[in-house]
């Protein structure tokens, strides 16, 4: 006996319940025609993930209920097929939004036009980007249902990271575990999941199919990479990462044993995963929010060069508008390199000098600045003029402006509020500066989307980075070398190391003091920064929540 299982590794849109229902219905019909009798959709597939405070609105829950009914009605003719659909459930009386106990993160099993089982997620994550205890109450039961003679135990995401829910499903008669998920990406997370599910299989002795979401949603990205693990704890198949796919797994019974068989996409390196995550995050943020074109300031430096390459891969060169805005301090080679990169990539390119505007600002402010030397004030004026230019182009033409700052700069405030921080999306906000250089070299060596080979001029990568806001400026005039800076940021921000820990690890006390102080005092800037794709296990978004008014430093 063979049960064919289909995993709908699809890109759903938050709040588009009718559209998501249509996708599920289409997947069910395709899977059924291909011989599948069990369809698994990701966690909360009806409404997509992460919905945040939409979960608190009764009308949102009602719309989800209607979409589940639509799926049931439209798939009633698929005789004998079981369809697992993730959705929120509002139980009992619906009151004010503070009454979170009325909701569960659930999955329904639909067959022959009706819901035959419902399961509520037992373990609710409340760390990193997760706030599920704000919205849901834990489930208490188990769910085991029959498909083609196989007893399937249903789990939702976090449930499978701990032993009890899987063991309870086995105790209830499950022969196969079906785990539906929406687990945000960070570099290396896909293989962490596989390793954890292998441990779960070892613990309970049941084969497991892991159905995962793909797509970008604001700051988070889901990479897909659904997979299957056999009862002997060996990988039985893996879907590709960062693409939609109807992934098929065959469960073949021999006696009491069930063996899983599926195609296995090759393992990938971290650079490829990181690039694809950044591309998908940008593409989906622009596309799902209705932006057809993007604009960015192309400075001739490494950050804007990397963002330009990302934008071309995400949207196509014809959708990208780059603007070089030289000031009196812009080096000639910066203009040359910006022109060369625009030529290589084929994007729309313009040059607008900001010298007249800069001189006009200085003239207007001269009486008020009398007796004071030029300093960072004049540097910030240049950045803000560029921000005004880009936002004007956005207003006139409807472009999404991309902010080109990296994680190192956002950490220590090496950026100008209302200047180079202007924009609606910051694609490399969670990428450290040292990683920016590595990614630039990786992208020049690879052309994963077939858009353009070797897009970034070599001189952009090799020359010392500079904001070019004063004569002879380099980043290291005011910051430690990026190898040191990034190592401190990674330990302090991502791993909660304290000042004493950093000094004990061998960093110079003066570097530690400078960097940690800058991180603390620039919280107000990060609060006003654009959303950006999260690719580390702790970015400056939902999983970084520090007060702006604060006298404590770790």
Contact at 8 Å (CB) between 42 and 8? yes
Which of 23, 121, 189, 429 is the catalytic position? 121
Active site residue 51: no
Active site residue 64: no
Identify whether 50 is preceded by a cis peptide bond (ω within 30 of 0). yes
For 496, the token pair is 């909660």
String of DSSP letters for 490-526: IIIIIS---HHHHHHTT--HHHHHHHHHHHHHTHHHH
Q: Phi/psi at 313 (nearest 5 deg)?
A: -70, -35
Gap between the Cα atoms of 57 and 53, Å rounded: 7
Contact at 8 Å (CB) between 428 and 532? yes
Which of 47, 51, 143, 157 is the catalytic position? 157
Gap between the Cα atoms of 35 and 85, Å rounded: 19
Which of 4, 23, 43, 47 is the catalytic position? 43
Which of helix, strand or coil describes residue 41? coil
Which of helix, strand or coil describes residue 547? coil
How far apart, in Å, are the Cα atoms of 381 and each of 52, 410, 417, 475? Answer: 37, 19, 10, 18
Place of tokens 């596309």: 287
Which of helix, strand or coil describes residue 418? coil
Place of tokens 């608190």: 56
Contact at 8 Å (CB) between 321 and 393? yes
Gap between the Cα atoms of 476 and 310, Å rounded: 26
One-letter-per-residue 3-state SS of 55-91: HHCHHHHHHHHHHHHHHHHHCCCCCCCEEEEEEEEEC
Active site residue 288: no
For 62, the token pair is 């009602």
Beta strand 245-254 pairing with 2-9: antiparallel
* Geometric angle at alpha carbon 106, from 105 and 112, rounded to 5°: 160
Gap between the Cα atoms of 276 and 281, Å rounded: 8
* Per-residue DSSP letter, 531: B
Which H or E run contains 7?
strand 2-9
Contact at 8 Å (CB) between 207 and 258? yes
Q: Which residues are catalytic?
A: 43, 121, 157
């Amino acid at each position: 006996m063979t049960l064919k299982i289909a995993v709908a590794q699809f890109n759903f849109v938050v709040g588009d319940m009718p559209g998501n229902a249509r996708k599920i219905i289409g997947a069910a019909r395709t899977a059924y025609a291909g011989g599948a009798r069990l369809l698994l959709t990701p966690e909360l597939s009806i409404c997509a993930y992460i919905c945040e405070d939409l979960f608190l609105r009764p009308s949102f829950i009602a719309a989800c209920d209607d979409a589940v009914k639509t799926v049931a009605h439209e798939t009633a003719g698929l005789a004998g097929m079981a369809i697992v659909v993730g959705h929120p459930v509002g139980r009992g009386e619906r009151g004010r939004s503070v009454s979170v106990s009325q909701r569960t993160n659930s999955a329904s099993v639909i067959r022959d036009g009706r819901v035959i089982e419902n399961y509520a997620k037992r373990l609710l994550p409340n760390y990193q980007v997760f706030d599920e205890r704000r919205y849901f109450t834990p489930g208490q039961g188990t769910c085991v249902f029959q498909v083609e003679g196989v007893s399937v135990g249903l789990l939702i995401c976090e449930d499978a990271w701990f032993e009890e829910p899987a063991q309870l499903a086995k105790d209830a008669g499950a022969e196969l575990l079906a785990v539906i998920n929406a687990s945000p990406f960070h570099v290396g997370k896909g293989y962490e999941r596989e390793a954890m599910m292998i441990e779960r299989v070892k613990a309970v002795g049941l084969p497991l199919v892991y159905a995962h979401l793909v797509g970008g949603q604001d700051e988070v990205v889901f990479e897909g990479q659904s997979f299957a693990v056999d009862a002997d704890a060996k990988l039985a198949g893996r879907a590709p990462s960062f693409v939609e796919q109807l992934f098929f797994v065959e469960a073949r019974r021999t006696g009491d044993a069930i063996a899983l068989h599926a195609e296995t996409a090759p393992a990938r390196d971290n650079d490829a995963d990181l690039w694809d995550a950044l591309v998908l995050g940008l593409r989906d943020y622009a596309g799902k929010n209705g932006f057809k074109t993007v604009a960015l300031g192309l400075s001739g430096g490494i950050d804007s060069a990397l963002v330009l390459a990302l934008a071309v891969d995400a949207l196509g060169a014809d959708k990208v508008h780059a603007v070089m805005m030289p000031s009196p301090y812009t080096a000639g080679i910066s203009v040359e390199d910006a022109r060369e990169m625009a030529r290589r990539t084929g994007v729309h390119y313009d040059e607008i000098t900001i010298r007249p505007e800069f001189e006009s600002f200085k003239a207007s402010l001269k009486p008020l600045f009398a007796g004071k030397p030029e300093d960072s004030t004049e540097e910030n004026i240049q950045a803000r003029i560029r921000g005004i230019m880009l936002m004007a182009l956005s207003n006139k033409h409807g472009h999404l402006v991309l902010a080109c700052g990296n994680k190192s700069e956002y950490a220590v405030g090496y950026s100008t509020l209302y200047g180079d921080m202007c924009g609606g999306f910051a694609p490399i906000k969670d990428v450290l500066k040292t990683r920016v250089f590595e990614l630039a070299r990786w992208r020049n060596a690879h052309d994963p989307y077939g858009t353009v080979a070797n897009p970034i001029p070599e001189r952009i990568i090799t020359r010392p980075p500079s904001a070019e806001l004063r004569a002879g400026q380099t980043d290291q005039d005011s910051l430690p070398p990026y190898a040191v800076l990034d190592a401190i940021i990674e330990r302090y921000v991502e791993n909660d190391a304290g000042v004493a820990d950093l000094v004990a690890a061998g960093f110079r006390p003066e570097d530690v003091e400078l960097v940690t102080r800058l991180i603390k005092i620039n919280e107000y800037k990060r609060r006003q920064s654009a959303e950006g794709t999260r690719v580390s296990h702790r970015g400056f978004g939902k999983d970084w929540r520090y007060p702006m008014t604060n006298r404590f430093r770790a």
